[in-house]
Structures are given as structure tokens and as C-alpha cells.
Copies of this chain bind each other. A is one copy, B any other.
Amino acid sequence: MSKFYSVRDLEFQIFENLDLSQLTAIPYFADHSEDTFRMVLSAAREIAERSLYPLLTAMDRNEPVLEGGRIKIHPGMKAIVKQFGEDGWINATFSHEEGGQQLPWTIHLAAGYILQAANYSASVFPFLTTGAANLIRSFGSEELIQKFTPKMYSGDWQGTMALTEPDAGSSLSDLNTLAIPTSKEGVFQIKGQKIYISCGDHDACENVIHLMLARIQGAPAGTKGISLFVVPQKDPETGEPNDVLTEGLYHKMGYKGAPIAHLMIGSNEACLGYLVGEANQGLKYMFQMMNEARLGVGMNAVAIASAAYQSSLSYAKERPQGRKITEKDLSKPQVPIIEHADVKRMLLFQKSITEGSLALLMYCSWLADQVSHGTSGDHGAMEALLDLLTPIAKSYPSEIGLQSTSAAVQILGGAGYTTDFPVEQYYREARIHPIHEGTTGIHGMDLLGRKVLIQDGLGWKALMKAIGNDIKEASQLGELEKMSAALARYQSMSNQCLQEQLVKMKQGTDVFLADATLFLELCGHLCLGWMWVRQAVSASKNFERDPVFYKGKIRAAEYFMEYELVKIESLAKRLASDSFPTLDIEKEGF
């Protein structure tokens, strides 16, 4: 038993609900097997339980502070950051030549899920370093790779993603941090400001390596003139300061253990940055990594929801309160609240959301490994499907995770609102996910305005086909007939809904995309319904091996179909309407 995730469920997700042989058959992963995967997961559990979870509350109560221009974080993080490096977490998915383990991302993400569920703030440090190093190794010169990545892999240097500026948050085309060429090729003088930089400065590392978007003097306006630079806090050779000043530290509602910085770059005209890859290709590079980061955020959301679920589940099993609704004898002892239908409903809601979302993220990472390293004939369709699923897998768990953690608070009642239990912290921490790595609104437009359209709808067709295959399989298992019929009904309704939206395109982009967020939500319900039918199939096939566990899975699948999937009904009704109050209202009308 773990306090923050279901060990049994994660095993199910990886070893029973995914076809891992499709990964191990790929040459890049040839050295791996179920055994090595289990070792990785078990190592993650160990560091999570021994080092991360014990600091969960302390890191929330003792926020980072900005002192003398430097951010001090919780002193316990130093050893953890170093250990992430020493244990090989940062470059685990990279090649043997790079010192990595060629681990499938599927397993790396699953291990990350354990760390995130234990202590979300602590988990972001290595996650960011991996992302930054991945940009350098994928698009940087050999010189840059040699100069920066070894100390990042070892955990000595922190990596960041430095995108946001005061006047350019969601609107990346308005970035205006400036890069001025110097006499040395590939080296630029950088000047600007960056805000909301996670781990942008802290005292548990020797240097901070920013992967920063900036505009080379004279570059085209908009997204076509953005380049990517490595901007170290200190010169990697001399250790001298590189004119990256920590101007401020954000205080936040949650996720307090991770320092979020406001940086002044080159205020003294003395900041040097190193161009990664070609000029003006920065956004393209960033977005190739961003897709992984987005799935990562979806996973963070699932992890927090999972920790909240486990916390409320153990409370519900132990807390006596009231009697069964059919019991009128007050001399009988009170029963644990898990006996009450409404508490079971809130637990089933959480179970269906966390395990359903986990299944979706694991499925996406399993696709991603095949897209990155495989050579299957379906490669194109697989990639299109992954691209289509990415905004859904980022946003749906993020949004519904708020409701899931809220249900955990509700189960604890007054106790849940106090700091005596961690659920209130999870509730605060969960709120970041619909915001960072692209807001839900941005992902809605990405899905409806781009992903369903590209390559003549290849991704959507692949989704319909994949869902159809699983419906077919489920419909042949007697007890799953009803739920497979429900999924088929809502798949058809969702497809119909998309066709209606495409007709609206003719009325202009504003009409077409006005309800993109709702379409995204509808697709989220559909994909989770799909994931639950898949899980029910796995449970049904293996039933005799672990009946109690699999029965719970099938009940949760039924719950999702009965209570959540039906929400498509209302969304589709709204999406079919030709009335647009959100376009019609004038700003003076509020």
C-alpha cells in the first residue's frame, strides 16, 4: 500500500492494459524487458516514499525566499536534486552513447507519475532539466551538447524552459526578448525579461541553464522570427555570472515548493546566449518538446488527483459517521463513511477520473515511443493520432482533476478544509494545470482549429478506428455489451458533432472556434469512455486471476458510462446550436 498512488493499478496499466511487446520489439528498446521496467518503477517508488513524500507538507509550509538576489528553497531538496541526477532519472530515455538507458518514455512517465503523486513540487526539478537537455541534444551543435548536458544529466545544473514575458503569455508571437549577434558565430547578446520561470533560480544547483526563446535583431515579426538559445545563469567554463538577474519570486496558491522566478536578462548588456539549431526555428523546436511536456502536465494532473483519491479513500474506510440509510437502530455503532452511497459515488468519480486519465496518458506515451523509435507501417496514422490526443490528454485531466480533488476534500468534510490533511494542498496544487503549458482555451483551439483538420482528418479517423476496434472487442464479451453499446452511441454522437462544427467553419473562424473548449471537453469524455472500455476488456479477460480488483475496475467503468460519458449529451446539444451569446455580448454588457 502506498499513501499516494495505487501500486496495483499502475501495474495493471502498464503490464496488463498495454501491449508492451510492441515496444520491446523496437531495436532501441531491445535491452529492456518487463524485469527492467519493474526495477525502474520500484526505484521510483523507493525515492518517492523515502525522500519526496516526507517533504510534501514541509515544502508547502516553508516557501522559497528571495534573499540577496538568490532564491533559497527547502534545504531538503538539495540531496534530492542530486540524487535524481546520480540515479540516472534525468537522461533515462536518452541513448547509451549519451549515458542514458534507452528507457521507453512510457516507463519513464509512469515512474514520473509516482514521483509527482508523492510531491508535485519536488518532481518538477528533474522534469524541467530533462526537457531542457532534450532540446539541446535534439537541435543543438555537438559543442553545445558537450558544454551543457553532462552537468545537467548529473543533476548539478538545473534546466528551464524560458518562454513567457510580461506582454506575451499565451500570445507567443508577441515575444520581444532581443538577441544581438556578437563577433563570435552562434553567440548572441540577450536582453529582455522572462516571467513565471519554473526553477528559474535556486540554491540546490550550481548553475541554471535556460532554454530561452528570443528574437534575433531584424528577425520577422510573429512566430516566424523566434529563435531558441541556451542562456546559462553562469558561464559554464568560468562560473562567472552571465547577467541573468532574479528580479522576483512569485508567491502562489499551491505548488509552493517549486520556485517560480521573474528574470531580468542582460540588464547590464552582459548576457550571452548560444543559438540552438537554426535561426528563426525556435518555436518549432520548442513545440516538438512541448508535446511531451504537455503529456507530462496531463500526468502531473493525474498524479495529484491520484494522491487526493488515495487520501480520501483511506479516510472513508476509517472514519465512522452515521449508519446505513436502511438502519434505524441508533444503538448500532456508526459505520465507516465508505458505506454511504454518496461517498461511494465521490470515490467512484475519483477512481474513474484518475485511472481513466492514467490509462489515456499511458496509451499516449506508448504511442509516442512507437512514433519516436518504431518503424511500423501505421507510423503516419499513429503520429496523427498522438498529435490529436495530446491537447485532450493535457487538458481533460487538468480540468476534471480540479473536480476530482474537490471530491476528495468533500469526502473529508470539515477536516478536508483544514491543513491537518493533505487534500487541501492537493486542491490548491491541482489548480495550476489548466493554466501552464497552454491554457485549456488554447488547447481547445489547437484541437478543433488544427488537429482535427490536418492531413484531411487523419488523426480523427485514426481515433474513430481505434475506438471502433475496442468497441468490437468489448461487444463480444457478454457482460460488457451494455457499456460497449453506450460508447458506440457517444462515439457516433461525437462524430456527428464534429461534422456540425465543420459546417460552421463557413460562418467564419470566430463562429467555428467559439466553443472549441466545449468540443475539447466532449472529446475528453469520449476518450475516457474509450479508455474505460479498454480497461474493462483487460479486466474481464483476466478476471479469475484477481476477481476483487477486476470487479472494482468493471464497476468503475460502469460508473463512468452512467455518470460521466452521458455529459456528451448536453455538450453535443449546445454545440449543435446556432445561437452564440458569447459572440453577441458586447463588453459593456457585463
Tell me the A residues contacting B by CB distance below 8 Å. Answer: 164, 167-171, 173-174, 195-196, 221-222, 250-254, 313, 317, 320-326, 330-331, 334, 336, 338-345, 347-348, 351, 402, 406, 409-410, 413-414, 416-420, 424, 427-428, 431-432, 434-436, 439-441, 444-445, 482, 508-510, 513-518, 548-549, 551-552, 555-556, 558-559, 562-563, 566-570, 573-574, 577, 579, 581-590
Query: Which residues of B sit under 8 angstroms from A342, Cβ to Cβ?
Result: 441, 444-445, 514, 516-517, 582
B581 & A348 in contact (Cβ 8 Å cutoff): yes
What are 20 A-B interface contacts by the 8 Å CB criterion? Answer: A167-B334, A174-B330, A221-B330, A251-B418, A251-B420, A252-B418, A253-B428, A338-B590, A341-B513, A341-B583, A348-B585, A406-B431, A417-B431, A482-B579, A548-B588, A555-B584, A562-B579, A566-B573, A569-B569, A570-B570
A494 CB, min distance to chain B CBs, angstroms? 14
Rounded to whole angstroms, the CA-CA distance of A173 and B406 in the bound complex is 27
B582 touches A341 (CB 8 A): yes
Which of B434, B514, B516 lies in contact with A410, CB distance below 8 A?
B434
Q: How many copies does the complex hold?
A: 2
Shortest A314–chain B CB gap in Å is 10
Given A331-B221, A558-B581, A581-B562, A351-B252 contact (CB < 8 Å) = no
Once A325-B509, A558-B579 are accepted as A-B contacts, the answer to whether A347 and B418 lie under 8 Å apart by CB is no
Beyond A252-B419, A419-B252, A566-B570, whether A345 also contacts B517 by CB under 8 A is yes
Report B-chain residues with C-beta under 8 Å of the C-beta of A445: 342
How near does chain B come to A217, taking the closest CB pair, in angstroms?
A: 17
- Asked if A585 contacts B410 (CB within 8 A), the reply is no
Partner of A589, one of B331, B428, B548, B566: B548
Please tell me which one of the listed residues B173, B334, B416, B509 contacts residue A171 in the complex, with CB atoms under 8 A apart: B334
Instruction: Find out whether the CB atom of B444 lies under 8 angstroms from the CB atom of A339.
Output: no
Taking A427-B431, A563-B574 as known contacts, 9 extra A-B pairs with beta carbons closer than 8 A to each other, sorted by chain A number, are: A325-B509, A326-B510, A342-B441, A342-B516, A348-B585, A414-B436, A416-B435, A548-B586, A555-B585
Please name all residues of chain B whose beta carbon is closer than 8 Å to the beta carbon of A513 when the two chains form the complex.
325, 341
Beta-carbon contact of B334 and A552 below 8 Å: no
**B contact residues around A434 at 8 Å (CB):** 410
Nearest B residue (CB) for A551: B589
Q: Is A414 a contact of B164 with CB atoms below 8 Å?
A: yes
| Residues from chain B with Cβ under 8 Å of A569 in the complex | 569-570, 573
Least Cβ distance of A445 to chain B in Å? 8
User: In the complex, A323→B168 CA distance in Å?
Assistant: 12
| Contacting residues, chain B, for A323 (C-beta < 8 A) | 171
> Which residues in B have their C-beta under 8 angstroms from that of A341?
510, 513-514, 582-583
- Chain B residues positioned under 8 Å from A558 (CB to CB): 579, 581, 584
> With A and B bound together, what is the CA distance between A432 and B424 in angstroms?
11
